Structure 1
Amino acid sequence: MLDMAHVLDLNLLLEQAFNGLIIATGIYLVASGLSLIYGMLGVPNFAHGSLYMYGAFLLFTVTRFMFGNIPWLFWVGLLLVPLIVMILGMGIEVFLLRPIYRADAFYQLLLTYGLVLIFGDLVKMIWGTENQAVSRPPGFEGSMSLFDISLPSYQMLILIPISFLTLVLLYLFIHKTRLGSIIRTVSYDQEMLGALGINVRLLYTGVFAMGTWLAGLGGVVLAPLGAVYPGMDFHVIIDVFLVVVLGGLGSMTGTALGALIYGELRSFGILLTPEFESVFIYVLIVVVLSWRPQGLMGRHLAGGH
Structure 2
Amino acid sequence: MFENISIQALSGLSSGMVLFLVASGMTLIFGALRVANFAHGSFFMIGAYLSYSITQLIGTNNFGFVASLLLVPLVLALLGAGVEFFLLRRIATRAHQYQLILTYALTLIFADMVKMIWGRDNQMVPRPKILDGAVEIFGTPFPTYYLMLIAVGTLVACALHILLARTRFGKILRASVADAEMVGALGINVPRLHTSVFALGAWLAGLGGVLAAPIGSISLGIDSSIIIECFAVVIIGGVGSVTGALIGAILIGVMKAIGILFAPKLAIAFIFIALCGVLIFRPQGLFGGANA
Residue aligned with 1:187, SS: helix
Q: CA RMSD in A?
A: 1.4
Cα distance, 1:68 vs structure 2: 5.3
Q: Which letter does structure 1 place at the counterpart of 2:264?
A: P
Residue 120 (structure 2) pairs with residue 129 (structure 1): yes
Cα distance, 1:142 vs structure 2: 2.6
Q: Is the 8 A contact 1:56 1:220 kept in 2?
A: yes
Cα distance, 1:108 vs structure 2: 0.6
- Correspondent of 1:75 among 59, 63, 66: 66
Q: Is the 8 A contact 2:241 2:290 kept in 1?
A: no
**Counterpart for residue 3 of structure 1:** none
Separation in 2, partners of 1:87, 1:266: 33
**Counterpart for residue 223 of structure 1:** 213
Residue 254 (structure 2) pairs with residue 264 (structure 1): yes
Q: Which moved more, 1:55-64 or 1:9-18?
A: 9-18
Aligned length in residues: 291
Identity %: 46
Cα distance, 1:279 vs structure 2: 1.0
Cα distance, 1:71 vs structure 2: 5.1
Q: Which moved more, 1:206-215 or 1:225-234?
A: 225-234
Q: Is the 8 A contact 1:82 1:214 kept in 2?
A: yes
**Counterpart for residue 213 of structure 1:** 203
Which aligned pairs between 1:41-56 and structure 2 lie closer than 5 A? 41-56=33-48
**Counterpart for residue 29 of structure 1:** 21
Higher Rg: 1
Cα distance, 1:139 vs structure 2: 2.0
Cα distance, 1:40 vs structure 2: 2.3
Separation in 2, partners of 1:300, 1:148: 40
- Correspondent of 2:141 among 136, 140, 150: 150
> Can you give the 5+ residue segments of structure 2 that lack an aligned partner in the other structure?
none
Q: Deviations over 1:15-46 (max 9, x none)?
A: 12212211211111111111111122211110
> How does the TM-score come out when normalised to structure 2?
0.96
Q: Which letter does structure 2 place at the counterpart of 1:187?
A: V
Q: Is the 8 A contact 1:72 1:138 kept in 2?
A: no
Q: Which letter does structure 2 place at the counterpart of 1:230?
A: L
Q: Is the 8 A contact 1:40 1:249 kept in 2?
A: no
Q: Is the 8 A contact 1:248 1:295 kept in 2?
A: yes
Q: Is the 8 A contact 2:62 2:130 kept in 1?
A: no
Residue aligned with 1:277, SS: helix
Separation in 1, partners of 2:37, 2:31: 11
Q: Deviations over 1:92-133 (max 9, x none)?
A: 000000011111111111100000000000001111110011
Residue 8 (structure 2) pairs with residue 12 (structure 1): no
Q: Is the 8 A contact 2:60 2:128 kept in 1?
A: no
Separation in 2, partners of 1:194, 1:184: 13
- Correspondent of 2:188 among 198, 201, 204: 198
> How does the TM-score come out when normalised to structure 1?
0.92
**Counterpart for residue 181 of structure 1:** 171
Cα distance, 1:273 vs structure 2: 1.2
Q: Which letter does structure 2 place at the counterpart of 1:51?
A: F
Residue aligned with 1:150, SS: strand
Q: Which letter does structure 2 place at the counterpart of 1:292?
A: R
Q: Deviations over 1:38-72 (max 9, x none)?
A: 122211110000011111111111111x3454453
Q: Which moved more, 1:214-223 or 1:70-79?
A: 70-79
- Correspondent of 2:271 among 277, 281, 291: 281
Q: Which letter does structure 2 place at the counterpart of 1:100?
A: I
Q: Is the 8 A contact 1:71 1:135 kept in 2?
A: no
Separation in 1, partners of 2:249, 2:128: 26
Separation in 1, partners of 2:5, 2:60: 37
Cα distance, 1:168 vs structure 2: 0.2
Separation in 2, partners of 1:277, 1:73: 34
Q: Which letter does structure 1 place at the counterpart of 2:49?
A: F
Q: Which moved more, 1:22-31 or 1:163-172?
A: 22-31
Separation in 1, partners of 2:18, 2:61: 24
Q: Which moved more, 1:291-300 or 1:158-167?
A: 291-300
Q: Which letter does structure 2 place at the counterpart of 1:222?
A: A
Cα distance, 1:300 vs structure 2: 8.9
**Counterpart for residue 153 of structure 2:** 163
Separation in 2, partners of 1:67, 1:299: 45
**Counterpart for residue 253 of structure 1:** 243
Residue aligned with 1:109, SS: helix
Q: Which letter does structure 2 place at the counterpart of 1:13?
A: I
Q: Is the 8 A contact 1:22 1:159 kept in 2?
A: yes
